[in-house]
Amino acid sequence: MNHQDILKKLPYGKDFLFVDELLHVDENGAIGTCTYNKNLYFYDSHFKNLPVTPAVILTETMAQIGLVCLGLYLLKDDLDINKASLAMTSNSIDFLKPVYPGVSVKVTSEKIYFRFSKLSCNVKMEDETGNIICKGTISGMLISNPNEQ
């Protein structure tokens, strides 16, 4: 499975997709990028006079690149995205710097373990100059779609 195949299998619509490019993926981890477009819906309200990317969006970006892209790679052709998906089950993230509209970030994940349909990874997000924005651990698992049993 190549990088484009993985991106096509991501289960997100255009308004909630935070993966612009998948730079690397193998059995040990993934690296990808995202640029937070200045026109994203949440910047109007978070915060009114100083827009900042919400921590939940930073976490989601790390999960999409570091957990879901890696999980799709590890599952390869065994996953029918219409019948199952990967969902975050836990996270512990330290936020070190704010991310403003228009900033590009790079997410790197390193697999801790993958067993019993559960994947856990160390993740970090860096800005264009290599400064760490946030880092931590994210875990997720394979879940069945009840409508497709």
Residue 88 lies in a domain: yes
Could you give the angle at the alpha carbon of 72 between the alpha carbons of 91 and 134, nearest 5°?
A: 30
Cβ(64)–Cβ(56) under 8 Å? no
Q: How many distinct structural domains can be found in the chain?
A: 1
49: DSSP letter:
S
Length, in residues, of the chain: 149
- Which residues are part of the catalytic machinery? 46
pLDDT at residue 80, as a whole number: 65
Domain range holding 11? Answer: 3-144
Q: Find the mean pLDDT for residues 35-54.
A: 94
Residue 99 lies in a domain: yes
Residue 149 lies in a domain: no
Residue 105 lies in a domain: yes
Whole-angstrom distance, CA of residue 90 vs CA of residue 73: 20
Is it the case that residue 22 has pLDDT exceeding 70?
yes
Distances in Å between the Cα of 71 and the Cα atoms of 13, 18, 49, 144 are: 18, 16, 38, 15
pLDDT at residue 100, as a whole number: 97
Residue type, 32: G
Evaluated on CA atoms 67, 70, 74, 77, the torsion sign reads positive
Q: The pTM is what? A: 0.93
Q: Find the mean pLDDT for residues 132-136.
A: 98
Cβ(96)–Cβ(134) under 8 Å? yes
Residue 127 lies in a domain: yes
pLDDT at residue 81, as a whole number: 62
pLDDT at residue 148, as a whole number: 55
Residue 95 lies in a domain: yes
Is it the case that residue 82 has pLDDT exceeding 70?
no
pLDDT at residue 137, as a whole number: 98
Residue 136 lies in a domain: yes
Residue 118 lies in a domain: yes
Is it the case that residue 74 has pLDDT exceeding 70?
yes
Residue 67, domain CATH: 3.10.129.10
Whole-angstrom distance, CA of residue 48 vs CA of residue 106: 26
Highest mean pLDDT out of 46-50, 64-68, 139-143: 64-68
Q: Find the mean pLDDT for residues 79-88.
A: 71
Is it the case that residue 50 has pLDDT exceeding 70?
yes
Whole-angstrom distance, CA of residue 95 vs CA of residue 80: 34
